[in-house]
């Protein structure tokens, strides 16, 4: 039974009034081997109007010159150098905990904000006191007329159904301030109280699905998330060796895709929802397994599944916390499509045709089984 809102500790945040000031704002930069990105990211934060009250760089044991960039060029920036690379989830959690202020602008090292981006996010949250996080529209750094990420909905197969993904700005749908279910971790202005009360990022994810997981837990608890369509952040190429934009798909991403998607499903879905979603989950699983065969990543895929079962004991307790916080039904959050795949994966005509067919079948399955979901 879904607990009433009044008895839900996650939902009992101090009420904000419309128009209430939310500043000052702390900025937290998550960094790993971002020597080429950090200066641009920090200088963009320093140029914003209004500005941030502090900038914190959390470094994930970089092996390049990241630490020297911060120490030599930005001695006023607070640098937290972690002893080992625990992944962006660890770095983001450390940074939000270290922030002096309730509202935190969390950005990745390859994000370059425009001068008015923070101001637009602040105004949007002031006008929407029911929202606990706001994101800008992400565009490609070298192509400002093309959307990269714009938030999205939760695909029942355990994926993001992204809005306006990789489309020209002239074709992007939506304007003003919109409710969204899923945030993209490139840049988020968040209420740290809501962030902490749902447990922050799940550090067991390391990479992949971590922002989808956080967004889902916030929405399950009943919190509102918004996208500010005219606030922009320019997104560069990602960390070399981790991002696969313009490069081969890394083997370790196949591992974490295999592992983390099932962790997300198990932790956040009610049992009835897992049953309703199972045909689509398995169909997508077959399609992704065939993709790993093509890449030569079968061992990584299987290792990811074995790691999922090894993590079940820990995840079981997290699952109970998520379900205890529930104020929104799965069926009111999950959608049947669109199935969003990276353009690199569907470049060839046959791959694009197969992806469209898979999307159609997944939508059809959900239209018939959605009623079962809790």
- What's the half-sphere exposure (Cβ side, CA atoms, 13 Å) at 265? 27
Q: Tell me, what's the pLDDT at 12?
A: 53
Tokens linked to 148: 């990269």
pLDDT values of the chain reduced to their tens digit, one per residue, 374 residues? 333 333 333 345 667 888 788 889 999 999 999 999 999 999 999 999 999 999 999 999 999 999 999 999 999 999 999 999 999 999 999 999 999 999 999 999 999 999 999 999 999 999 999 999 999 999 999 999 999 999 999 999 999 999 999 999 999 999 999 999 999 999 999 999 999 999 999 999 999 999 999 999 999 999 999 999 999 999 997 666 566 565 677 888 999 999 999 999 999 999 999 999 999 999 999 999 998 998 899 999 999 999 999 999 899 999 999 999 999 999 999 999 999 987 777 778 888 899 999 999 999 999 999 999 98
pLDDT of residue 9: 37
The model carries a pTM of 0.93
Domain ranges of the chain: 23-235, 251-372
pLDDT of residue 248: 73
- Per-residue 3-state assignment (H helix, E strand, C coil) for the chain: CCCCHHHCHHHCCCCCCCCCCCCCEEEEEEECCCCCCHHHHHHHHHHCCCCCCEEEEEECCCCCCHHHHHHHHCCCCEEEECCCCCCHHHHHHHHHHHCCCCEEEEEECCEEECCCHHHHHHHHHHHCCCEEEEEEEEEECCEEEEEEECCEEEECCCEEEECCCCCEHHHCCCCCEEEECECCCCEEEEEHHHHHHCCCCCHHHCCCCHHHHHHHHHHHCCCEEEEEEEEEEEECCCCCCCCCCCCCCCHHHHHHHHHHHHHHHHHHCCHHHHHHHHHHHHHHHHHHHHHHHHHCCHHHHHHHHHHHHHCHHHHHHHHHHHHHCCCCCHHHCEECCCCCCCHHHHCCHHHHHHHHHHHHHHHHHHHHHHHHCC
HSE value, Cβ hemisphere, 13 Å, CA-based, for 212: 28
Residues 6+ apart with CB under 8 A from 164: 137, 147, 150, 171, 172, 173, 174
| Superfamily for the 23-235 domain | Spore Coat Polysaccharide Biosynthesis Protein SpsA; Chain A (3.90.550.10)
What does the pLDDT read at residue 15?
74
Both tokens assigned to 237? 């190429």
What is the reported pLDDT for 369? 96
Closest residue by Cα to residue 176 from 119, 124, 122, 118: 124
- Which two tokens mark 21? 């000031």
């Amino acid at each position: 039974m879904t607990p009433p809102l009044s008895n839900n500790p996650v939902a009992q945040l101090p009420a904000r009034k419309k128009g209430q000031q939310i500043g000052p704002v702390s900025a937290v930069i998550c960094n790993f081997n971002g020597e080429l990105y950090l200066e641009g990211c920090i200088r963009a934060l320093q140029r914003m109007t209004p500005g941030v009250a502090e900038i914190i760089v959390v470094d994930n044991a970089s092996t390049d010159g990241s630490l020297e960039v911060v120490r030599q060029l930005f001695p006023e920036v607070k640098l937290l150098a972690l002893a080992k690379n625990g992944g962006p989830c660890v770095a983001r959690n450390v940074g939000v905990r270290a922030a002096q202020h309730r509202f935190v602008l969390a950005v990745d090292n390859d994000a370059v904000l425009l001068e008015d981006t923070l101001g637009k996010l602040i105004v949007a949250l002031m006008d929407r006191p029911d929202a606990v996080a706001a994101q800008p529209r992400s565009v490609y750094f070298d192509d400002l007329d093309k959307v990269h990420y714009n938030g999205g909905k939760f695909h029942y197969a355990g994926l993001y159904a992204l809005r306006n993904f990789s489309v020209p700005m002239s074709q992007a749908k939506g304007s003003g301030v919109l409710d969204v279910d899923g945030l993209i971790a490139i840049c988020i202005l968040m209420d740290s109280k809501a962030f902490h009360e749902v447990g922050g990022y799940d550090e067991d994810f390391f990479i992949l699905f971590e922002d989808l997981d956080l967004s889902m837990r916030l929405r399950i608890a009943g919190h509102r998330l918004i996208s500010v369509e005219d606030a922009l952040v320019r997104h560069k190429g990602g960390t070399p060796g981790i991002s696969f934009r313009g490069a081969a798909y890394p083997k370790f991403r196949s591992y974490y895709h295999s592992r983390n998607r099932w962790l997300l499903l198990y932790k956040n879905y009610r049992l009835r929802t897992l049953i309703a979603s199972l045909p689509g989950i398995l169909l997508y699983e077959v399609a992704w397994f065939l993709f790993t065969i093509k890449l030569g990543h079968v061992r990584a895929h299987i290792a990811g599944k074995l790691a999922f079962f090894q993590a079940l004991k820990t995840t079981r307790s997290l699952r109970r916390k998520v379900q205890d916080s529930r104020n929104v039904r799965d069926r009111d959050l999950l959608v049947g499509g669109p199935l969003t795949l990276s353009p690199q994966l569907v470049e060839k005509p046959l791959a694009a045709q197969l992806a469209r067919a898979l999307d159609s079948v997944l939508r059809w399955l959900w239209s018939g089984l959605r009623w079962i979901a809790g």
